[in-house]
């Protein structure tokens, strides 16, 4: 009985090897066929674009809400943004490492190496900076542009 069991296992192993060889052969034929290769590249490209779009949507959304007086509270968005009838822009300025006292425009709020130095808004909106989470919260009631400044840490 042991010998019959071993023969059965050997038959299964041989069958598995044959299936593996056939799959490998089919895969090699698919890869070598320009039409099928183009199909794979097209599908991969579409999936990549969809993934990038979804990631961009989730990372670029600002969190906002409206308070009782109709002011919009915006959280963590650098750059220009339109919410309902409001046009809001947040600019981040970092102190230049080479020229102390001069600031350069940045594309994000720094996470290390800088300390908060203040803000200014053209239409007197209120901007609050959360040092722990490295985010801003801005209350706007009309179109506004706010700038937030960071100095180099000592």
* Residue range 87-116: mean pLDDT, rounded: 83
CB 137 within 8 A of CB 130: yes
Q: How far is Cα 122 from Cα 132, in angstroms, rounded to an integer?
A: 26
For the beta carbon of residue 83, count every other beta carbon within 10 angstroms.
14
Domain limits, the chain: 2-60, 63-152
Higher-scoring residue by pLDDT: 73, 123: 123
Q: How far is Cα 102 from Cα 95, in angstroms, rounded to an integer?
A: 6
DSSP code of 99? S
Give pLDDT, residue 130. 81
- Tens of pLDDT along 3-44? 776 777 777 778 778 878 887 777 776 667 777 778 878 888
Residue for token pair 């919009």: 72
Alpha helices in 33-94, H assignment, sequence order: 34-60
Give pLDDT, residue 107. 81
Higher-scoring residue by pLDDT: 92, 137: 92
Mean pLDDT across the chain: 76
Higher-scoring residue by pLDDT: 60, 122: 122
- Tens of pLDDT along 45-74? 898 888 888 776 665 555 555 555 555 556
* CA dihedral for 134, 90, 79, 95, sign (positive or negative): negative
Higher-scoring residue by pLDDT: 40, 145: 145
């Amino acid at each position: 009985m042991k010998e019959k069991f071993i023969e059965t296992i050997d038959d299964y192993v041989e069958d598995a090897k044959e299936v593996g060889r056939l799959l490998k052969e089919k895969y090699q034929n698919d890869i070598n066929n320009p039409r099928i290769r183009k199909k794979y590249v097209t599908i991969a490209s579409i999936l990549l674009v969809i993934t990038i779009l979804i990631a961009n949507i989730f990372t670029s959304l600002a969190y906002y809400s409206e308070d009782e007086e109709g002011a919009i509270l915006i959280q963590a968005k650098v750059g220009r943004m339109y919410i309902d009838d409001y046009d809001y822009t947040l600019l981040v300025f970092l102190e230049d490492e080479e020229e102390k006292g001069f600031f350069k425009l940045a594309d994000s709020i720094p996470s290390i190496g800088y300390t908060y130095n203040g803000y200014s808004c053209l239409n007197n909106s209120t901007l609050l900076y959360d040092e722990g989470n490295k985010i801003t919260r801005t209350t706007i009631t009309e179109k506004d542009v706010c700038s937030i400044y960071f100095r180099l840490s000592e």
